[in-house]
Chain A
Amino acid sequence: GESVGLHLPTLSVQEGDNSIINCAYSNSASDYFIWYKQESGKGPQFIIDIRSNMDKRQGQRVTVLLNKTVKHLSLQIAATQPGDSAVYFCAEISGTYKYIFGTGTRLKVLA
Chain B
Amino acid sequence: SQTIHQWPATLVQPVGSPLSLECTVEGTSNPNLYWYRQAAGRGLQLLFYSVGIGQISSEVPQNLSASRPQDRQFILSSKKLLLSDSGFYLCAWSPDSRGEKLFFGSGTQLSVL
Contacts and interface: CB of A to CB of B under 8 A. Distances in A.
Interface string B54-66: 0001000000000
Given A43-B6, A103-B43, 15 more contacts: A34-B102, A42-B107, A43-B105, A43-B106, A46-B104, A49-B100, A91-B44, A96-B97, A97-B57, A97-B99, A98-B99, A99-B99, A99-B102, A101-B44, A104-B43
A93 B57 CA distance: 17
A41 B107 contact: yes
Interface of A: 4, 32, 34, 36, 41-46, 49, 89, 91, 93, 96-104
Contacts of B97: 96
Nearest to A9: B41
Given A93-B98, A93-B99, A99-B99, A43 B104 contact: yes
